[in-house]
Structure 1
Amino acid sequence: MDHSQNYSLFMATEVACRILGVDPQVMLETAGLGDLTPGRAEARVTAQQFFNCWNTMEVLSPRPDFVPYLGVAISRGPVIPAFFTLSCAPDMETGFRRLAQFKSLLGPTVMRVFWDGDLLRLEFESVDPRATMPPSLGALQLVVAIENIRGATAHLVCPVSAGFDGSEEERHMIAGHLGIMPERSQATYVAFAPEDAKRLFISENAALWADVEADLKLQLAGQNDRLPVADRVRGALVDLMPAGRTGAEDVGLALGISRSTLQRRLNEEGTSYQAVLDATRRDLAIRYLAKTSLSAAEIASVLAYRDANSFSRSFRRWTGQAPFAFRERLTQMTQKADT
């Protein structure tokens, strides 16, 4: 494994800090990353720097119950494309195996999914053995996993066992959410009964997953210089837009090239930055309208628009229709085709 890989701070500065009410600039400065600003959090950091940010947030958080509070809020709050790996799946095992492929998009952790006897077991650890994952971050992984599964199944799923290397107080903090008292163990893990592992998801969406998987793979490959620049830009945008980043400079930083070089290479491919941005937003908007029940405000947020009205104006420009007139027309066409 390449331990020199860097990771986005999006989940820290744009999600966790916002939910906890922590000033992201103060967090970065306290963690020794004052040269970064929240507006430049797409600049990658090492696994150790990411964990330093997490430890700093833990100290700065005004909530003593910040792990379960944050875990529930992440699971029920912002639309994060990588979590479609779970919600679109037909069942728990399939969803977690999909998420494991793209876990690094959320930060420097690895998730392993395997059968331990008759139990489905998930284990979480740092991507870099030289950088220890904080126990509270391990606890967060367990809470998020459980909350996502309960939402996808509409069932109060409780694990058979769980554990992480936390104090008794830290383990009590999440016991109520897990439904069991996790043990103290070096491995951060959670295990499920076979009937829960195969429990069907009410949120299954095979059509959406086919599109999401392609974009997530593009995100993982986004640093591959052999890909066309337009493809790399799209992959970076899918990663950056939920954080409100759509500027050419933002994408250039994420890809490790200057804005002028980015523009020049796109021109050489017969396109422009604005054209790629518009096409990416249009494709994602059509996907979310056609294959999800996301509201206009939620779609606007995922696509980094200021508000739903700005999104609607762009969508009218692309298609000649208001977003939900477009959705209604698709619904009617589908109903006619089924009769």
Structure 2
Amino acid sequence: MDNSQTYSLFMATDVACRILGVDPQVMLETAGLGDLARGKTEARVTAAQYFDCWNTMEVLSTRPDYVPYLGGAISRGPVIPVFFTLSCAPDVETGLMRLAQFKSLLGPTLMRVFRDGPLLRLEFDSVDARVPMPPSLGALQLVVAVENIRGAAAHRVCPVAAGFDGSEEDRRRIAGHLGIMPERSHVAYIAFSPEDAKRRFISENPSLWADIEADLKLHLSAQNDRRPVAERVQGALIDLMPAGRTGAEDVAIALAISRSTLQRRLREEKTSYQAVLDATRRDMAIRYLTKTTLRADEIASVLAYRDANSFSRSFRRWTGQAPVAFRETLTRSKEQGGEKD
């Protein structure tokens, strides 16, 4: 394992802390990451530091139902592009296989999906065998997986087996959400019946999946300094925008280069940071308006706009139409095309 590998803190500082009502700066200070708390929360951290953050949040949270509350809120809460890998799929097994490819974009965890006899089994583990994943994070993975599957299938799918390394009390806390009492297990896992493994998703969206897959592959390759800088910036923005960060300084830190170097290399590629940011936002906005039912305010949030009005002004500049009007025009065009057929 390469100890230099780092991971985004987005799921901890920008999602979990907000849901739990925990001050992210206090959490980072308590976890021994004071430098990040003093204005550099966009920086990436090692697996050990990431897990320290999760353990600290558990201590700071006042909720005894920390795991099920957080898991349910994540599944119903902010739009997280990585989860489209699951919801766009045709069925449970395909979606989980896709999600496993990009799970590391959410943090230092591995997700294995495989057949265990007739059952479909998921296992969650630390990316580094020397740095164990906190039991509460393992439990959270199980809750989020089940909640997301239920949402995509519009059916109360229940696993036939589950387990994680938690006390009996900890396991009882999520039993009601899973629909089964998890066993005490060194590995966090969950298993589904053959029927549920092939259960169809009502949210299947192959055209959106093609775009999302390309985005996420670009995100994974953002750290590859042999790729054009404009592509690396796009990949970094896909990670940073849901966290509300679009500054050149944020991207430069994510790519481990100075801001001046970033700007210089973009000029050498005949572009600018603002041009790449605008193009990335424009393409993603059009995609979400044409291929999803996300509201304009939800799209504005994913693209890190202050509010829907700011997003609307930018969209008008790009297309000459407001987002809602753009979607309505597209819908009418499709309906008229269908009538002609």
1:44: Cα distance to partner?
1.1
Distance 2:116 2:83 in 1: 24
Counterpart residue type for residue 322 of structure 2: A
Q: 2:47 aligned with 1:47, yes or no?
A: yes
Distance 1:268 1:334 in 2: 42
Unmatched runs of 5 consecutive residues or more in structure 1: none
The Cα offsets for residues 182-236 of structure 1, whole Å up to 9 and x where unpaired, read as: 0001111000001111010000111101000000000000000010000000000
Q: Cα RMSD between the aligned structures? A: 0.9
Q: How does 1:210-221 map to 2 (within 5 A)?
A: 210-221=210-221
1:62: Cα distance to partner?
1.1
Distance 1:173 1:209 in 2: 34
* Mapped contact 2:135–2:165 kept (Cα < 8 A): yes
2:235 equivalent in structure 1: 235
Q: 2:6 aligned with 1:6, yes or no?
A: yes
Counterpart residue type for residue 120 of structure 1: L
Identity of aligned residues (%): 80
Q: 2:181 aligned with 1:178, yes or no?
A: no
Q: 2:275 aligned with 1:295, yes or no?
A: no
Q: How does 1:112-131 map to 2 (within 5 A)?
A: 112-131=112-131
| DSSP 3-state at the match of 1:283 | helix
* Mapped contact 2:26–2:37 kept (Cα < 8 A): no
Give the paired residue count. 339
1:188 equivalent in structure 2: 188
The Cα offsets for residues 1-24 of structure 1, whole Å up to 9 and x where unpaired, read as: 534311010100000000000010
Distance 2:279 2:234 in 1: 9
The Cα offsets for residues 294-321 of structure 1, whole Å up to 9 and x where unpaired, read as: 0011000000000000000000000000
1:335 equivalent in structure 2: 335
Decide whether aligned partners of structure 1 residues 317 and 241 sit closer, same or farther in structure 2, where only a CA change above 3 A counts: same
Q: 2:105 aligned with 1:108, yes or no?
A: no
Decide whether aligned partners of structure 1 residues 64 and 194 sit closer, same or farther in structure 2, where only a CA change above 3 A counts: same
Unmatched runs of 5 consecutive residues or more in structure 2: none
The Cα offsets for residues 237-258 of structure 1, whole Å up to 9 and x where unpaired, read as: 0100000000000000000011
1:161: Cα distance to partner?
0.3
Distance 1:338 1:236 in 2: 39
Q: How does 1:70-85 map to 2 (within 5 A)?
A: 70-85=70-85
Distance 1:81 1:41 in 2: 20
Q: How does 1:1-339 map to 2 (within 5 A)?
A: 1-37=1-37, 39-339=39-339
Moved over 6 A (4+): none
* Mapped contact 1:8–1:41 kept (Cα < 8 A): no
Counterpart residue type for residue 337 of structure 1: G
Distance 2:113 2:311 in 1: 38
